Amino acid sequence: MTVLRHGSVVEAISWGSARARAAGAARPLRPSSVPLPEALGCRLAGPLRALAAVPGVDVSAMDGYAVAGPGPWRLVGRVLAGGAPHAGPLGAGEAVEIATGAPVPDGAEAVLPYERAEPAGEWVAGAFEKGRHIRRRGEDIPEGTFVLGAGAVVTPVVLGLAAALGHDTLPVRPRPRVTVLVTGDEVVHEGLPGPGRVRDAIGPFLPGLVDWAGGRVTGTLRLPDGPEPLRAALAGPSLEAVDDVIVVCGASSKGPADHLRAVLDELGADVLIDGVAVRPGHPQLLARLPGGGLVVGLPGNPFAALAAALTLLAPILRELTGTPAAKETSALAGPVRTHPRDTRLVPVRRSARGAVPVGHDRPGSLWGAALAEALAVVPPGWRGEQVELIELPAGG
């Protein structure tokens, strides 16, 4: 990878090269074994194996009577789920009352459900099918079976499955920690903004985007303009680990209030990307701190920041967690503005005719992105060929 050292001046790289370089900058996180609740949302670092059979013993599949031999049968006991098993095997002509999930005594040939039974005092009669309503040990999942492969997402259902198979911990690729720094004296975080102020529209969408891409936001700091607050935040010891990603909202352009490049130079960071030939989102930045953590600089305009996050941040998080990105192409079913040098990211909705641009795609507005299902990647000088679609984060 070409590394741009501090102080270097560099031309914006292509959108495709930026995504590839961002993914290549991610250093795979070391797998770790974590308690089941902490594994939720991670990807398995190895296959999931059944430590125990399911069911673990022969159990009843119905409430009723476990019977041996031809009826009628004399009742010799009761077995409840979670209770002590029946002592000794059943002899011919004997039965025990049994609950669903309770262990079936040795010698039982079937379970006679209540609805087909004819009880009379200490006796019970009824028609049964041999072997019916008994779940044999390992019938669902034999012990030692590999039930899920490495890379599977740990969903709530997977947690339940892992617990049923005897696991207390799971080996996973941990979710990278993301710290968000929202900069700007003009940015307000609640209520109606006054003259010359704007509401923060980037901070609210980043946690969902980070979660969708495989990471987790562990902290959000709101910083005033100026190099000192930004330097103090980026120099913090908690932000220098190799599994940290720091996202700086604003300060990535080259205006008088944009101090990110100068601060990174002072901290000895290596600048990997300084500007991308894409619209919106040209002034985006990627750097590595001396401790190994990555810094992603996003523009201050909301749609430009979203485009930059999908260009740099999402590929980094997906690479760190082993989360593959969906691959999709489509025809464009509507006019779009092209650019002679830059890629354009256009909000679209899918239709039978192809991807339909929804408009409202100015850098400062998220309206078009909120209407859209994806962003169409329109290359420079596009002439009507199919285009890649970048999925937009959806609600959980």
Round to whole Å and give the CA distance between 290 and 99: 63
Round to whole Å and give the CA distance between 96 and 25: 65
Round to whole Å and give the CA distance between 343 and 308: 12
Identify the pLDDT of residue 395: 65
Task: Report the pLDDT averaged over residues 349-367.
Answer: 95
Round to whole Å and give the CA distance between 93 and 73: 5
Residues 6+ apart with CB under 8 A from 187: 197, 198, 199, 200, 222, 250
Q: Where are the domains of the chain?
A: 13-30+174-321, 34-53+140-173, 59-135, 329-391
What confidence tens digit (pLDDT) does each residue in 186-219 have? Answer: 888 888 988 888 898 999 999 999 999 989 999 9
Identify the pLDDT of residue 257: 65
**Which residue, 336, 332, 323, 341, is CA-closest to 389?**
332
* CATH assignment, 34-53+140-173: 3.90.105.10
What confidence tens digit (pLDDT) does each residue in 379-393 have? Answer: 998 999 999 999 999
Spell out the CATH class of 59-135.
mainly beta
Identify the pLDDT of residue 256: 67
Task: Report the pLDDT averaged over residues 71-89.
Answer: 89
Task: List Cα–Cα distances, 291 to 37, 150, 297, 315, 318, in angstroms.
Answer: 30, 29, 18, 21, 21
DSSP-derived secondary structure letter, 136: P
| CATH superfamily label, 13-30+174-321 | MoaB/Mog-like domain (3.40.980.10)
Q: What angle do CA 72, 74, 78 make, to 5 degrees?
A: 125
Counting every residue written for the chain, the total comes to 396
**5 — pLDDT class (breaks 50, 70, 90):** very low
**pLDDT at 266 > cutoff 70:** yes
Whose tokens are 């741009």? That residue is: 4
Between β-strands 177-183 and 244-249, what pairing exists: parallel, antiparallel or unpaired? parallel
Residue 363, φ and ψ in degrees, nearest 5: -55, -30
CA-based diameter of the chain, in Å?
94
Whose tokens are 């959980």? That residue is: 396
Edge-to-edge strand ranges of the sheet holding 270-274: 216-223, 177-183, 244-249, 294-298, 285-288, 270-274
**239 — pLDDT class (breaks 50, 70, 90):** low
What confidence tens digit (pLDDT) does each residue in 251-262 have? Answer: 777 776 678 999
Task: Mark 200-222 as b/e (b = at least 16 C-beta within 10 Å).
Answer: bbbbebbeebbbbbbbebeebbb
15-25 vs 314-321: helix crossing angle, rounded to 10? 40
Average pLDDT for the chain: 90
Comparing 126 with 29, which gets the higher pLDDT?
126
Task: Report the pLDDT averaged over residues 311-331.
Answer: 91
> Which alpha helices (H) appear in 276-355, and where do they start and end?
302-308, 314-321
Task: List Cα–Cα distances, 95 to 34, 183, 246, in angstroms.
Answer: 46, 75, 67
- Give the number of other CB atoms < 10 A from CB of residue 84: 10
